Structure 1
Amino acid sequence: MVHIVDFSMFSAERLANPVGLADALRQLELLLVVSNTDGAVAQIVRELLSVPSLFGFLISVWPSSKKLVERIFTAFPSEPALVPQSFASELLIEISHTLFSIPPDLLSADLSRNIGQSRQYVDNVLPVLTILYRTDFTTQNTAADDDPQFVDEDIDIPFLKQKVKRQRRKVKREVPAVNPAPFHELGVPVPVTNEEARRMADEFVEELKSVLHCTLES
C-alpha cells in the first residue's frame, strides 16, 4: 500500500523546530483537503498511529485539529460489525491507553477515574462486538445461563373447568453457547436472539463514539 503521509515531514527533528512543525501541520491540512473519501481519512489516521505518540501530539498542538476530528467521525463505520477491525478501534485503543499512562498525580481524581473507566470499557467492549457479529444467536446449540428466573406454571384440570396454579419453579434462561466471560466483564447478559445482539451492538458503538468524542474534543 502506498503511504499517504510523508513521514519525512513528521520526523521528531522537524516537529521540534517551530518552522518544521508549521510545515508539518500545513501538510496535514492539505492531506485532508485532497483526501475526499472516508477510506483515505482512515488510512491517514492509521499511518499517524503507526508512529508512537505522533497522533496525540499533532492533535494537541494543531489549531485546526477540529477539521481532522470532524472527518474522523464522518469516516467512523456506520455498521457496528465493521468497528472492531476499523481505524476507529485502533484510535480508541491508542488514545485511551495514552491517557491512562499519564501519572495520576497530574490529574484530578474524577478525571483520572474517568480515564481509567474509559480505557477498561474500550478494552472490554471491542472483543464483545466481535462475538456479537460472529455468533448466530438463533442457533439451537444453547447452554443454561447462570441467572435463573422464576416462572409460574399452570395446569388444566378439565373436570373442574379451572386452572390451578402450582408452586413457582426456577427455570434456566437459555442462551447461545458462547463464552460469557467477556459479557460479564461489561456487566451485561449474553443476548438470546439476533435482534437483542443487534440492539446491544448499536448501544456499544454509540458509547464508543461518546468516548472518542470526549477524548478528541475535550
Structure 2
Amino acid sequence: MAARGYGINTRDITLYPLGGVARLENIPEKAWPEIVIALAGPAVNVAIAVSLYALFVVGGLGFDQNLRSAGSLEEAFFSRVLVANIVLVVFNLIPAFPMDGGRVFRAVVSLFTDRITATEVAMVVGTIMAVLMAFVGIREKEYMLVLIAAVVFMMGRTELAMVRGLDEQRRWDRQQARRFTRVAQPVFYQHHVDPVDGWEWNPADRTWTQWRDGRPVRRVAAD
C-alpha cells in the first residue's frame, strides 16, 4: 500500500522461512519514497504490538513473562505475539542493507550524495552488521541468525550490482542519444526553414525515429 501510494505496483509477495519478500515493479530512487516504503513494514509491527498492549490493558489479560502457558493459553499466546512484533521492529530497523533499516540508511545517505555512493556505503555498513550477526549466531549457537547474516550479505551485493547496472544502462542510453540525435534547430533563410534529417532517440519508449526532409518516416524499437 505504501508503494502504491507512489505509483509503484507490487508484482507478488513470496513467503520464505525467514520472512516475506515483496517484489515491486521498480525501486523508488528518491529518498523520501524509499524511506516511507521501507518503514511501512515495521509500522505494521508497531501497530500490532500497540493493539496487543491495549488488549492486555483493556481486556484484563496478564502478560506472561515466561512466554509459556504458566497462566492461561490466551495470555501465553498473545504475550508471544507481542514480544515477536517488538523484536521484529528492532531487528528490521538494524542498518543492515538491504533490510528495512538499511534501506532507510541508504535513503538518508542519498540526500547528501549520489545513489550509487549511498548504496555502496549502505552495503559496507550492512556487511559489517552481517559479520556481527554471524559472530553472535555462532557464539550463541543461533544458526538461524547465521543464515540471516548470509542472506543479508549476498542480497546487499546483488542490489549494489543491480544499481550499478541500471546506472550504466542509463549512461549508455545518454551516450547513444548524444551520438545519434540531431537537435532540430530551424535555420531561416529568407523565411525558409531548413528541413531536418537524421535519427531522434525517445528514452520514454526506447525507440528511434528517422526524420527525412523534416518529417518522420519510420520508427525502430531499441533491442
Q: Do Structure 1 and Structure 2 share a fold, with TM-score over 0.5?
A: no
| TM-score computed with the length of structure 2 as normaliser | 0.28
Judging by fraction of residues, say which structure has more strand: 2
Greater C-alpha radius of gyration: 2
The higher relative CO (CA closer than 8 Å, separation ≥ 6) is in 1
Judging by fraction of residues, say which structure has more helix: 1
| TM-score computed with the length of structure 1 as normaliser | 0.28
